Amino acid sequence: MTKKWWQGSVVYQVYPRSYQDSNGDGIGDLPGLTQRLPYIKKLGADVIWLNPIYKSPDKDNGYDISDYRSIQPAYGTMDDFDTMLESAHKQGLKILMDLVVNHTSDKHEWFEQSRQSKDNPYSDYYIWRDPVDGHAPNNWGSYFSGPAWTYEPKRGQYYLHLFAPGQPDLNWENPKVRQEVYSLMKFWLDKGVKGFRMDVINLISKPAGLPDAPQAPGAPYGNVEPLVSDGPRLNEFLHEMNQEVLSKYDIMTVGEMPGSTPEDAIEYTGLKSNELNMVFQFEHVGLAANPDKKLGKWNDQPIQLVDLKKALSRWQVELDGKGWNSLYWNNHDQPRAVSRFATDDPKYRVKAAKMLGTTLHMMQGTPYVYEGEELGETNVHYQKLDQYEDIESINAYHQLVEKDQAVDGTTMLKYMENMSRDNARTPMQWDDSNNAGFTTGKPWFALNPNYTEINAKSQVDDPDSVFNYYRQLIDLRHNSDLITLGTYEEIDPDDNEVFAYRRHYQGQTLLVISNFTDQTVQRDYGQANSKRLIGNYEDSQNDTLRPYETNVYLLND
Ligand code: TEU
Ligand code: CA
């Protein structure tokens, strides 16, 4: 197997709004990112995935785009973008853009036209349906609470929006829509960006007839995901996109795919499929959802290690040699990794963050590091509703607590503290000065007060920091085909305390052992007296694993 550049790469994700403000308006921007590129280079990442930076009314922090070919003014100008891109290239960094084409903003010109009448050039760019008995055409609920349909009196019809009403779904059945998408993709690729992260790309092909979705007892709407994910024409659309655009450039693509299975992912990323390079699967971030189905992801229960192991190992084993994995613990939609999968107790936080990094970065696939993860940043632990900013969290509170009375307010706030997307969106913690060096003005979103303890400045030159540990993990991968390409062998799937696995490649074996508990435990996998490549304690004590201890060994077969 010849290694593709994106198989040997590590991606660093930047949420531009919260990365670095350069002009004191409290909002992160492109010149701010340009200033910080050397930091990302120092970490050792190869590629930067930028969350949306296009013109947008910001109903969903940029995931509602009103012009795909211009920059959101708060982030700067097209010149600022070009400067950033040039500077990135000079430093050997590639830029990956966020492609959001399941939906646009309702303020996009296409939609402004489309909603006027049933017979204008854009009338069929979106998914319009007549009312049924004076109601919405089916029971679909939006990902952001409420119905997935909104009535437009001018057309006397409803339009579909799987997310907010300000995010109408594009009609991919219309070949003109697909050509528009291919054309905007070429616009960015011709500038020199090196690929796309494709937002909810497995939702673009809707099932024929738009039938009702399964509805949990007591839930006001049907749950669309099982119905709209991996729809009937998805492979065809992705294949067409590949033929018309992707195959003409040397780029990487990762499709965000809630609800996809390994079998689906093999279809999209398979060596012969000519569709995408890899997908973001949701299995491990969907664990510990509420058993009361109408509460969905909102819960405060810890994840069982055996479930986490099962989820990650399944993708490792099933995609080996057939597709390619992306590896991630968190992103802008998920709580902070260390709080969620280990502990943010100050006593163990540093050890735990290193342990998680090791467990993920020694797997097969392309690793993604979300801004601040490399510092061991934690959840923000808000206690009040008015501290939240994210549309998903706020809408869910109003729907579940006030409208449905499915849960009481205090409990819901606990669930949000645990699961809200806002945990990931507080500004980057650069130093211990006012507002963590993120802005000289008033930040658009409050900082996590622990920035005085957890920040980049204190870590970059400290050899024992989480930052420098991540740097070593990335460096190890860059220099090892065993880590990049080796096959995966799970050890003791029923062990709920230790996550251990082996990797095999050309007569060499890598052994990875991570203690996910705050207790000392004993495990013997034959590691005694083996060569240790990396670990989060000064030395290895062989079979004795201290709290959150992790070690990686190289064994010769
Ligand atoms: O996320 C898609 C998605 O599945 C999320 O809505 C997810 O269900 C939720 O955030 C986790 O509970 C993508 C983007 O990453 C997200 O930021 C956008 O809000 C969404 O699409 C709509 O574009
Ligand atoms: Ca700014």
Name which residue sits closest to atom 22 of ligand 1, judged by CA: 63
- Looking from the CA of residue 282, the nearest atom of ligand 1 is 4
Task: Report which bound ligand comes closest to the CA of 13.
Answer: 1
pLDDT reading at 1 higher than 70: no
* Per-residue pLDDT, 2: 80
Q: Which pLDDT tens digit goes with each residue over 439-457? A: 999 999 999 999 999 999 9
Distance, CA of 139 to CA of 211 (rounded, Å): 8
Positive or negative, the CA dihedral 256, 260, 265, 268 is negative
Fold adopted by 11-102+175-474: TIM Barrel (3.20.20)
Residue 356 structure tokens = 């998680």
Residue 557: pLDDT band by 50, 70, 90 thresholds?
Answer: low
**424 CA to middle of ligand 1, Å?**
13
Stretch 457-477: mean pLDDT: 98
Q: Where are the domains of the chain?
A: 11-102+175-474, 109-160, 484-554
Ligand 2 ion: nearby residues, β-carbon < 5 Å: 21, 23, 25, 27, 29
Q: Which pLDDT tens digit goes with each residue over 245-254? A: 999 999 999 9
- Separation in Å, CA 474 to CA 38, 40, 291, 380, 477: 16, 12, 38, 27, 5
Residue in the block written with tokens 């998805």: 234
Q: Which pLDDT tens digit goes with each residue over 59-117? A: 999 999 999 999 999 999 999 999 999 999 999 999 999 999 999 999 999 999 999 99
Residue 392 near ligand 1, beta carbon < 6 Å: yes
Alpha carbons within 13 angstroms on the beta-carbon side of residue 381 total 8
**77-109 as b/e, with b when 16 or more CB fall inside 10 Å?**
eeebbeebbeebeeeebbbbbbbbbbbbbbbbe
Q: Which pLDDT tens digit goes with each residue over 481-538? A: 999 999 999 999 999 999 999 999 999 999 999 999 999 999 999 999 899 999 999 9
Stretch 464-486: mean pLDDT: 98
Residue 465 structure tokens = 């920091």
Stretch 262-275: mean pLDDT: 92
Stretch 33-41: mean pLDDT: 99
DSSP 267: H
* Per-residue pLDDT, 485: 97
Can you identify the CATH homologous superfamily of domain 484-554? Answer: Golgi alpha-mannosidase II (2.60.40.1180)
Distance, CA of 378 to CA of 536 (rounded, Å): 19
* Per-residue pLDDT, 272: 80
* Per-residue pLDDT, 63: 98
Q: Which pLDDT tens digit goes with each residue over 353-391? A: 999 999 999 999 999 999 999 999 999 999 999 999 999
- Please enumerate in sequence order all residues whose Cβ is within 8 A of that of 220, keeping only pairs 6 or more positions apart, or say none: 141, 399, 403, 404
Q: Which CATH class is domain 109-160?
A: alpha beta
Do the beta carbons of residue 100 and residue 196 sit within 8 Å? Answer: no
Report the relative pairing of strands 195-198 and 157-160 from DSSP bridges: unpaired
* Overall residue count recorded for the chain in this entry: 557
- Separation in Å, CA 196 to CA 188, 254, 429, 512, 527: 10, 7, 27, 31, 40
Q: Which pLDDT tens digit goes with each residue over 271-325? A: 788 999 999 999 999 999 999 999 999 999 999 999 999 999 999 999 999 999 9
Q: Is 490 assigned a catalytic role?
A: no
